[in-house]
Amino acid sequence: MAVVFLINSLVIALAVLIHYEVLRRTTVLLPRISSVQKYRVVIGVFIAFGAHVAEVWLFAASFYVMHHADNWGHLQGNFDGSFLDAVYFSFTTYTTLGTGDIEPFGALRFLTGLESLTGLILITWTASFLFLEMSRYWNEN
């Protein structure tokens, strides 16, 4: 169980670091965009969206590996064991949509809950970031 806890902690740490770096670099990049100033916020949205997709795929890779490993739990239901099914499950978990067609068992349940909490925090962080960017650039016009 300690190994699962460490893996889960590492996955969350990587997701938060990815998000931090993307938002930090976006803060530096956006003021440099002069040719399409009115689209700065839209560019920021697409960059943030890309960060969220990368984080979902990171969690999906963890689900996929843990599902196929011994004694780390499994995913059951409308799940065929493919990586794309793990990505689908990760998207529904990260966004807290949770359609319920795939159900985690064993240690995967812990990662599922942590991904939901992480997704909620990172999505909120993105919303705050984009609000600040809108406040900065929309007041210029």
pLDDT tens-digit readout, 106-124 = 999 999 999 999 999 999 9
The verdict on residue 108 lying in a domain is: yes
Residue 40 confidence class, pLDDT cut points 50, 70, 90: confident
The verdict on residue 124 lying in a domain is: yes
The verdict on residue 119 lying in a domain is: yes
Q: Which long-range contacts (CB under 8 A, 24 or more apart) does 85-91 make?
A: 86/60, 86/61, 87/56, 87/57, 87/60, 89/60, 89/63, 90/56, 90/57, 90/59, 90/60, 90/63, 90/115, 91/56, 91/60
The verdict on residue 95 lying in a domain is: yes
The verdict on residue 33 lying in a domain is: no
Number of domains in the chain: 1
Q: How far, CA to CA in Å, does 8 sit from each of 62, 106, 107, 126?
A: 8, 13, 10, 22
Residue 37 confidence class, pLDDT cut points 50, 70, 90: confident
pLDDT one-digit tens code per residue, 53-105: 999 999 999 999 999 999 899 999 999 999 999 999 999 999 999 999 999 99
- By residue range, what is the domain housing residue 78? 2-26+38-138
Q: What is the pTM of this model?
A: 0.93
What's 129's domain CATH number?
Answer: 1.10.287.70
B/e letters for 29-47, b = 16+ CB within 10 Å, e = fewer, are ebeeeeeeeeebbeebeeb
The verdict on residue 31 lying in a domain is: no
Q: What is the pLDDT of residue 96?
A: 94
Residue 141, pLDDT above cutoff 80: no
